[in-house]
């Protein structure tokens, strides 16, 4: 008798997925979701940078105003990468890095960017 594969039919999910792999599948799904989020954040940063350049808000880089505007996106990117790393390496390896906002004020950052 021919198998589903030999008949050209897809195997039912119950036949190809083992229950003992459920936790791994869940972690992989979470990594994929966070990776998509990270890609969207990168696209957002690129789009805003190009938009500001086209509007002549940015004439050169680095630019303190653009950096300040994108600081939330940068922090979200760092958080997403940390989440992926934690999922792969484990929670014990994650070291929280203080954000630039916690170390210096916006005025100090702007002064440094001049």
Give tens-digit pLDDT for 36-94.
999 999 999 999 999 999 999 999 999 999 999 999 999 999 999 999 999 898 875 44
**Residues 6+ positions from 114 with CB-CB distance below 8 Å:** 64
Let me know if residue 14 belongs to a domain.
no
Write out pLDDT tens, residues 23-39. 889 999 999 999 999 99
Residue environment code for 71-85, b if the CB has 16+ CB neighbours within 10 A, otherwise e? eeeeebbebbeebbe
Quick one: angle between helices 64-89 and 106-113, nearest 10? 110
State how many domains the chain has. Answer: 1
pTM of the model: 0.59
Let me know if residue 61 belongs to a domain.
yes
Half-sphere exposure of 83 (CA within 13 A, CB side): 18
Q: Which domain holds residue 97?
A: 19-113
In angstroms, the Cα distances linking 15 to 5, 28, 33, 73 are 11, 20, 25, 42
């Amino acid at each position: 008798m021919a198998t589903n594969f030999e008949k050209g039919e897809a195997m039912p999910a119950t036949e190809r997925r083992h229950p003992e792999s459920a936790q791994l599948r869940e972690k992989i799904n979470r990594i994929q979701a966070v990776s998509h989020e990270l890609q969207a954040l990168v696209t957002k940063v690129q789009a805003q940078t190009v938009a500001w350049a086209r509007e002549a808000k940015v004439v050169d880089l680095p630019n303190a105003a653009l950096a300040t505007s994108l600081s939330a996106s940068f922090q979200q990117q760092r958080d997403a990468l940390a989440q992926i790393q934690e999922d792969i390496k484990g929670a014990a390896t994650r070291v929280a890095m203080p954000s630039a906002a916690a170390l210096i004020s916006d005025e100090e950052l702007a002064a440094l960017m001049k």
